[in-house]
Amino acid sequence: MKEQGFIRSFTARHYKHFNAAVVPEAAAAYEAHLTAGGKMMVTLAGAMSTAELGKSLAEMIRQDKVHIISCTGANLEEDIMNLVAHTHYARVPNYRDLTPAEEQALLDRGMNRVTDTCIPEEEAFRRLEQHMVDLWKAAESEGRRHFPHEYFYQAINSGVLEQYYEIDPADSWMVAAAEKGLPIICPGWEDSTLGNIFASHCIAGDVVPSTVKSGIEYMIWLADWYTQTTSDGTTIGFFQVGGGIAGDFPICVVPMLHQDLGRDEVPLWAYFCQISDSTTSYGSYSGAVPNEKITWGKLGVDTPKFIIESDATIVAPLVFGWLLDW
């Protein structure tokens, strides 16, 4: 019999109560869902890519433990930025103590701060921009339209970015996803740096807005994917890292299919876990307890439901490591 990985054995011994106990319980239920033939959506909010979740998420993708991802535009681009500009990043351990003048000094250096990590303007944002603009223009000239993530896949699969790689590409979840052709949903892509850059090129007349497919088109695609994937009895779970639009947008596909399209045969989400530090009393989606989703027609009474009230940058790698038997 294979010996348990360190994370499994450690959590079995020490994670016995409260939020800690939910970590191995949620991971075991995730594994049981996959073992039963189910598929899993993982959603990414916050700055998980800059937190380098790719070190574990990429392997989850390679081992077919993730079948579709929904993420913010920031997570989509920042994984690739880390891939092509990692050595130019700067860490600011004392970020809580920075004065306004010191923050201005970071801006003057072209360093965009995300908590304790600064992303370099030239080596990350502008390095990607030149290649993305080429892809947008080529698509428009040929009458093609693609989703935001598909343009990133084109950039990765073409090999044009390899000259810039500064980390092992095995640690990039976007590289793993591109190699698999993994379905991605990126609602609200416009709320990202590359989304802003795309808007600027539309204003300048370089490309037209319709070159990049919209969020509504993402929902139409997701409705078709969910219906087809579950048509043979397959069920789909929902593992939510953080909250926000990356989680709320895709989870709503089920009540839309039922209530607005009358597709009553489509199953509810078959598993749910959320890692969140949001407070439920504020009325937010991010802080809503799983049972609230029953009232919206997203989850059922008997759906396995978990919420780990903690920092996703700490917990998500633990759950993924448990599933990978590290």
Residue 295 counted as domain residue: yes
Report phi then psi at 192, rounded to 5: -155, 165
Let me know if residue 229 belongs to a domain.
Answer: yes
Q: Which domain holds residue 233?
A: 6-323
Give 3-state DSSP helix, strand, coil % of the chain, rounded to 5.
Answer: 55, 10, 35
Which burial class, exposed, middle or buried, applies to 1 when counting CB atoms under 10 A from its CB (0-12, 13-18, 19+)?
exposed
Bridge pairing between strands 111-114 and 90-91: unpaired
Tell me what pLDDT residue 1 has: 60
Is the residue at 198 inside a domain? yes
Residue 1 lies in a domain: no
CATH number of the structural domain spanning residue 26 = 3.40.910.10
Closest CA to 239 of 257, 222, 251, 228: 251
pLDDT in tens, 197-224: 999 999 999 999 999 999 999 999 999 9
- Domain assignment present for residue 260? The answer is yes
Taking the complete model, does pTM exceed 0.85, yes or no? yes
> DSSP characters for 108-159?
HTTEEEETTEEEEIIIIIIHHHHHHHHHHHHHHHTT--B-HHHHHHHHHHHT
| Domains in the chain, number | 1
For residue 281, pLDDT over 70 is answered with no
Q: Tell whether 87 is covered by a domain.
A: yes
pLDDT band at 280 (very low <50, low <70, confident <90, very high): confident
Q: How far is CA 5 from the centre of its chain?
A: 26
Q: How long a stretch of residues is the chain?
A: 326
Grade residue 289 by pLDDT with cuts at 50, 70 and 90: confident
Residue 218 lies in a domain: yes
